């Protein structure tokens, strides 16, 4: 007996125009989920388009149908808009015009967009959730291209199967997708081994900002706008840089703060290593995410923002561990 998934029934029922969207600063999971669902819905004869606010990062430009992603906002009223891999439609960071919204995601909490939302915070990636939807609908329809998009989201959101969201289903899904024709080695080299020299020059500048606090329990990095200008790298190239701070032995919380174009807004990515829940820290600044990976935006000058974060993290480490930090 097949399990009935409300999101599947809702999509099946839709006769009008569907718009698929993902969050701004899109990652492999957001783009992979959107592309996989797009291709599947097309095969099912649905009238579907997809859009996002920002450009596709270079590392994902090999994915099928990536050239069909449009730019938000689209001045058109859709029948149904589906937000993928985001805590709510607001994360599109641009107006979306549709009679009805639907959220497919794996973030904790967030906005209830409709009764048919499919949100599972235990899923390693949103592509795992999309995979369940497609399997329940029509497994035969999952081709190599769809599987490659789904696998890309799984690979990137688990940090190459390293983060603590990796579970049995993640490996089973990877196996399943491989049986559908995915070439894991090719996907990994397309995503991780096509850096431009400018990215490595940028990394060099960013690593120079490394600061350790609280006897090495916290590490932070800064990306100033000037670094991007002098190296010719892009903001999207900073993806994964925070992991260098996180990789240091003894570090429990790491963060990177990236200066936005207005020079006063900082996009912050927080990383934990299982002990401290960084989602709680991000939430204090109006952000969100997962236990080991979360983010937020803070306004202010560099030192003020950095110190505010360091102080908040200190309080949170003390609260969550019951240990007193005296330095």
Question: What is the nearest approach in angstroms of Mn ion to the Cβ of residue 122?
Answer: 13
- Crossing angle, helix 126-138 and helix 168-179, to 10 degrees? 50
**3-class DSSP state for residue 299?**
strand
Question: What is the nearest approach in angstroms of Mn ion to the Cβ of residue 84?
Answer: 9
Stretch that binds Mn ion, among 13-21, 125-133, 177-185, 243-251 (CB under 5 A): 125-133
Q: Which is nearer to Mn ion, 46 or 163 (CB)?
A: 163
CA distance 210 to 320: 25
Q: Which of 310, 313, 283 is nearest to 297 (CA)?
A: 283
Site string for Mn ion, 259-278 (x = CB under 5 A): --------------------
CA distance 56 to 149: 14
When CB distances to Mn ion are compared, the closest residue is 29
Q: Which is nearer to Mn ion, 91 or 217 (CB)?
A: 91
**3-class DSSP state for residue 154?**
helix
Q: Which is nearer to Mn ion, 20 or 228 (CB)?
A: 20
135-174: contacts with Mn ion (CB under 5 A): 157
CA distance 118 to 204: 41
Q: Using the rule CB under 5 A, is 235 a contact of Mn ion? A: no
CA distance 116 to 199: 41
**3-class DSSP state for residue 80?**
strand
Question: What is the nearest approach in angstroms of Mn ion to the Cβ of residue 154?
Answer: 10
Is the CB of residue 176 less than 8 Å from the CB of residue 208? no
Q: Which is nearer to Mn ion, 108 or 188 (CB)?
A: 108
Question: What is the nearest approach in angstroms of Mn ion to the Cβ of residue 292?
Answer: 12
Site string for Mn ion, 82-121 (x = CB under 5 A): ---x------------------------------------
Tokens representing residue 189 in the block: 């080299």
Site string for Mn ion, 22-41 (x = CB under 5 A): -------x------------
Q: Which is nearer to Mn ion, 14 or 85 (CB)?
A: 85
Query: Maximum Cα–Cα distance for the chain, whole Å?
Result: 63
* b/e sequence 15-25, b meaning 16+ C-beta within 10 Å: eebbbbbbbbb
Stretch that binds Mn ion, among 81-89, 116-124, 188-196, 308-316 (CB under 5 A): 81-89
Question: What is the nearest approach in angstroms of Mn ion to the Cβ of residue 124?
Answer: 9
Question: What is the nearest approach in angstroms of Mn ion to the Cβ of residue 29?
Answer: 3
CA distance 260 to 265: 5
Size of the site for Mn ion (CB under 5 A): 4
Question: What is the nearest approach in angstroms of Mn ion to the Cβ of residue 166?
Answer: 13
Question: What is the nearest approach in angstroms of Mn ion to the Cβ of residue 106?
Answer: 6
How many CB atoms sit inside 10 A of residue 182's CB?
24
Q: Which is nearer to Mn ion, 170 or 317 (CB)?
A: 170
Please state, in angstroms and as integers, the Cα–Cα distance from residue 316 to each residue in 108, 125, 273, 274, 296, following that order: 19, 26, 14, 14, 16
Q: Which residues bind Mn ion (CB under 5 A)?
A: 29, 85, 126, 157
């Amino acid at each position: 007996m097949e399990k009935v998934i409300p999101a599947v029934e809702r999509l099946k029922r839709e006769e009008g125009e569907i718009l698929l969207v993902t969050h701004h600063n899109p990652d492999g999971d957001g783009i992979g989920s959107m592309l996989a669902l797009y291709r599947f819905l097309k095969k099912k004869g649905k009238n579907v388009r997809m859009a996002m606010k920002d450009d596709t990062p270079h590392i994902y430009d090999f994915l099928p149908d990536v050239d069909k992603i449009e730019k938000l906002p689209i001045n058109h009223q859709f029948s149904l808009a589906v937000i993928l891999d985001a805590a709510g439609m607001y994360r599109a960071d641009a107006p979306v015009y549709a009679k009805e919204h639907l959220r497919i995601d794996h973030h904790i909490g967030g906005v209830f967009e409709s009764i048919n939302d499919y949100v599972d915070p235990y899923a390693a990636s949103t592509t795992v959730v999309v995979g369940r939807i497609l399997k329940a609908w029509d497994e035969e329809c999952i081709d190599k291209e769809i599987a490659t998009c789904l696998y890309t989201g799984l690979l990137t959101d688990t940090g190459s199967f390293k983060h603590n969201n990796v579970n049995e289903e993640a490996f089973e899904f990877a196996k399943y997708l491989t049986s559908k024709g995915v070439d894991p080695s090719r996907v990994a080299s397309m995503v991780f081994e096509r850096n431009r020299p400018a990215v490595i020059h940028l990394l060099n500048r960013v690593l120079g900002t490394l600061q350790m606090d609280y006897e090495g329990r916290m590490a932070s990095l800064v990306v100033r706008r000037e670094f991007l200008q002098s190296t010719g790298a892009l903001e999207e190239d900073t993806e994964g840089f925070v992991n260098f701070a996180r990789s240091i032995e003894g570090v429990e919380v790491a963060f990177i703060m990236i200066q936005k174009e207005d020079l006063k807004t900082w996009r912050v990515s927080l990383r934990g290593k299982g002990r401290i829940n960084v989602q709680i820290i991000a939430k204090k600044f109006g952000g969100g995410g997962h236990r080991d990976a979360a983010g937020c935006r803070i306004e202010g000058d560099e030192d003020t923002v950095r110190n505010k974060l360091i102080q908040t993290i200190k309080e949170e480490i003390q609260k969550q561990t019951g240990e007193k930090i005296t330095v």
